[in-house]
A and B are shown apart, each in its own frame.
Chain A
Amino acid sequence: DAGITQSPRHKVTETGTPVTLRCHQTENHRYMYWYRQDPGHGLRLIHYSYGVKDTDKGEVSDGYSVSRSKTEDFLLTLESATSSQTSVYFCAISESPLGQGASYGYTFGSGTRLTVV
């Protein structure tokens, strides 16, 4: 996806270990988001950021933390991975706070498939 990359693309980790997923953008967009996608649940917001060091919780934030020290990077950390956190994780960016007349929508990264065993 142009301007937004996620790493790693795939990861298998053991229960109880910490895991950090990275989202990097070159679009200089202010807003960044982390979602997880699971069968039967669709896309659910974990955390989002509206600027450097400005973050807030989403619908399913328990067990996750985020950091944004630079405009271009938004990190998602699973402090102690559990099997319920096995999922596909998507990062998304947007130019503006969606809904304020914005026509931009989201641009999504390619996703990270995380398996916790």
Chain B
Amino acid sequence: QKEVEQNSGPLSVPEGAIASLNCTYSDRGSQSFFWYRQYSGKSPELIMSIYSNGDKEDGRFTAQLNKASQYVSLLIRDSQPSDSATYLCAVNAASGGSYIPTFGRGTSLIVHP
């Protein structure tokens, strides 16, 4: 059973701070890693993807991957109240030849003014 673990939160940070969201996974064969943002009552929206060890930056977002330690994280710099949402980690690993992602349960982020 492939598992993806996230702290459910809520993680509360002040406006302008760095929010750090973490995700660990159990399957060492995992190859692709994604972060989705989901506002309350809305559908998940892809915000970052990462495949190689290290950091990947896109605007205020940085994804970090460490395959040896089996974790992936998302940093949000200069957090804004509009970043308040649930962040879902998704991890892909080959399963019988198909690549179906496993989702974590999500971390709720609250950015307060």
Partners in one complex: yes
Q: Is the CB of A99 within 8 A of B93?
A: yes
Contact with A along B36-53 (1 / 0, CB 8 A): 100000111110010100
Q: Is the CB of B103 within 8 A of A99?
A: no
Q: Which of A40-48, A60-68, A69-77 contacts B (4 or more CB under 8 A)?
A: A40-48
A12 within 8 A of B: no
Closest to B104 in A: A42
B80 within 8 A of A: no
Contact with A along B1-24 (1 / 0, CB 8 A): 000000000000000000000000
Q: Is the CB of B100 within 8 A of A43?
A: no
| A-side interface mostly | loop
CA distance A41 to B103 in the complex (A): 10
A8 within 8 A of B: no
Classify chain B: how many residues form its interface, as a range. Answer: 20 to 34
Query: With A99-B31, A99-B92 as given contacts, are A106 and B99 in contact (CB-CB < 8 Å)?
Result: no
Contact with B along A60-100 (1 / 0, CB 8 A): 00000000000000000000000000000010000001111
CA distance A111 to B39 in the complex (A): 13
Residues of A within 8 A of B (CB): 1, 40-45, 48, 50, 56, 58, 90, 97-111
Which 7 pairs across A and B sit closest by C-beta, in order of nearness? A99-B99, A99-B92, A42-B105, A105-B46, A108-B43, A43-B103, A97-B99
**Can you list 11 A-B pairs with a CB-CB distance of less than 8 A?**
A42-B104, A42-B105, A43-B88, A90-B43, A90-B44, A98-B101, A100-B99, A103-B49, A103-B51, A106-B34, A109-B43
